[in-house]
Amino acid sequence: MTHPLFDKHRATLDGALNAIRTRGYWSAYPEMPSPKTYGETAPADGKAAFDACLGREFALDQPGRRGTVASETSPYGIPLAVAYPKCDPDALVAAGLAAMPGWQKIGAEGRAGVCLEILDRLNKRSFEIATAVMMTTGQGWMMAFQAGGPHAQDRGLEAVAYAYQAQAEVPAEAHWEKPQGKNPPLVMQKRFEVVGRGIALVIGCGTFPTWNTYPGLFAALATGNAVIVKPHPNAILPAAISVRIAREVLAEAGLDPNLVTLFATDVPAETQALAKHPEVASIDFTGGNAFGEWLYENCRGKQVYAELAGVNNIVIDGTDNYKGMLRNLAFTLSLYAGQMCTTTQAILVPAGGIDTPDGKVPFDQVAADLGAAIDKFLADPAVATAVLGAIQSPETLARIGNAASGGFGGEVVLASRKIEHPEFPNAEVRTPVLLKCDAAGESAWLEERFGPIAFVV
């Protein structure tokens, strides 16, 4: 007899399994924030649910409570003042270990069904989660809804599908019989049970707190592990809402909710200590190179999955649509003010210029035209604020100033400017700074400069 939640969501799982086999486009969760899709009251309900979290303690009944953490500040300048329970990590680990046997007992189908129910509940709360993502990360609304809601949920679903597919290949039972000639055969009746590695620690990043958390969370959970979610100290609310929803579903299914817990802290040493805990078997991390390398060096023997920073390049040799290319690059460099690991930083242009239908465009002209294209694209404040969002961290603001003052080398082609947000007067909205330099000046452009900083090289 299959688990009722597996039966309920079987069509969704089948769609995901087909998608990972065929690699074609498929999505279970509508990406447009349409009231017709999510319900006429969904936008207002989501905003009200977010507002209800502000200025108070976030209710999360977890073991080992020892105070609260309230470390978030909004890039849009609104007061948040949400206090989260701070729990003893040893208590969270012990509770997760105690919860795992019952979780493993319901099998791969049961775990998949529960995970799919969690994802379904998350999807229904997409407006609330998107508002939390927007106000803690600085993303614009559309990006916060899509990346923080349906796209993140799709990534969680993909993890569940791969986990289920792998576990489904393991038979529950097998009859093993080896002939022995004239002697009776050797016979064994084998039984197999998938068990997890142990406690999984998922360490979130500050800019995409659900998109970069759900894959690790659901992959570990679906394969029989308890999960401790450790969010970035400035983006706790989206993770806390997600954890609370997961705990509610687990409890309703008759399971121990301590399979998923939140470890909120703004003390790096506490995160390091938890990562090194002997019962933590796997670690999923997205973020800066320094902490990622620390994990690799100090957590040997654990399964560490880390997505670290890098320098993304574009090589321009020629184009058949020069103005279109400039418009595309202007959007690319402006989107979320460059606060993505995929944002282009170095635009490599031949010293002799690039080929176009109208002839060669010299290197200096390419740089100047790109700067003008960015200025034109961001001329309308409504477009600019929607695309740029707000700068999340003081470190990024300082980096922008350093780039504009020549601290990273290169010649300033386009200076960054502050744009006033019509809805949030205290928002930290900044346009990109564009520099140009020779390829020999590697110290300028070959190191990641996180934020709206780009080089024409």
Mean pLDDT of the chain: 95
Look up residue 1 and give its amino acid.
M
User: What is the secondary structure of 239-302 as a DSSP string?
Assistant: HHHHHHHHHHHHHHTTS-GGGEEE---S-HHHHHHHHT-TTEEEEEEES-HHHHHHHHHH-TTS
**What is the reported pLDDT for 2?**
83
Task: Give the angle 274-276-281 at the CA atoms, nearest 5°.
Answer: 90
Q: Answer positive or negative: Cα dihedral of 354, 356, 361, 365.
A: negative
Task: Give the angle 386-387-390 at the CA atoms, nearest 5°.
Answer: 80
DSSP conformational letter for 427 = -
How confident is the model over 199-256, as pLDDT tens digits?
Answer: 999 999 999 999 999 999 999 999 999 999 999 999 999 999 999 999 999 999 999 9
335, 387 Cβ separation under 8 angstroms: yes
Lowest mean pLDDT among 415-419, 439-443, 453-457: 439-443
**What is the reported pLDDT for 221?**
98
How confident is the model over 272-313, as pLDDT tens digits?
Answer: 999 999 999 999 999 888 999 999 999 999 999 998 888 999
DSSP conformational letter for 86 = E
* Helix, strand, coil percentages, rounded to 5, for the chain: 45, 20, 35
d(CA 454, CA 451) in angstroms, rounded, equals: 9
Q: Answer positive or negative: Cα dihedral of 28, 30, 35, 37.
A: negative
d(CA 298, CA 302) in angstroms, rounded, equals: 10
What domains does the chain contain, in order, with CATH numbers? 4-170+193-307 (3.40.605.10), 312-456 (3.40.309.10)
Mean pLDDT over 421-447 rounds to 94
Mean pLDDT over 72-90 rounds to 97
d(CA 377, CA 334) in angstroms, rounded, equals: 9
Per residue, what are the HEC states of 22-74?
Answer: HCCCCCCCCCCCCHHHHCCCHHHHHHHHHHHHCCCECCCCCCCEEEEECCCCC
pLDDT tier for residue 189 given thresholds of 50, 70 and 90: very high
Confidence check: pLDDT of 338 > 70: yes
For 6, 31, 142, 162, 447, the CA distances from 28, given in Å and listed in that order, are 16, 9, 18, 15, 38
CA 414 to chain centre: 30
d(CA 42, CA 46) in angstroms, rounded, equals: 6
Q: Which of 9, 198, 219 is CA-nearest to residue 117?
A: 9
**What is the reported pLDDT for 274?**
98
- β-pair partners for 68: 85
- For 360, half-sphere exposure in the C-beta direction (CA atoms, 13 angstrom radius) is 8
Token pair 């954890």 is found at: 243
d(CA 163, CA 171) in angstroms, rounded, equals: 15
Is the pTM here over 0.85, yes or no? Answer: yes
Instruction: Please tell me whether residue 138 adopts helix, strand or coil conformation.
Output: coil
Q: Which of 104, 121, 116 is CA-nearest to residue 226?
A: 104
223, 167 Cβ separation under 8 angstroms: yes
Lowest mean pLDDT among 97-101, 114-118, 339-343: 339-343
Confidence check: pLDDT of 1 > 70: no
Residues whose CB falls within 8 Å of the CB of residue 122, separated by 6 or more in sequence, listed in order: 129, 149, 153, 156, 242, 245
Mean pLDDT over 451-455 rounds to 95
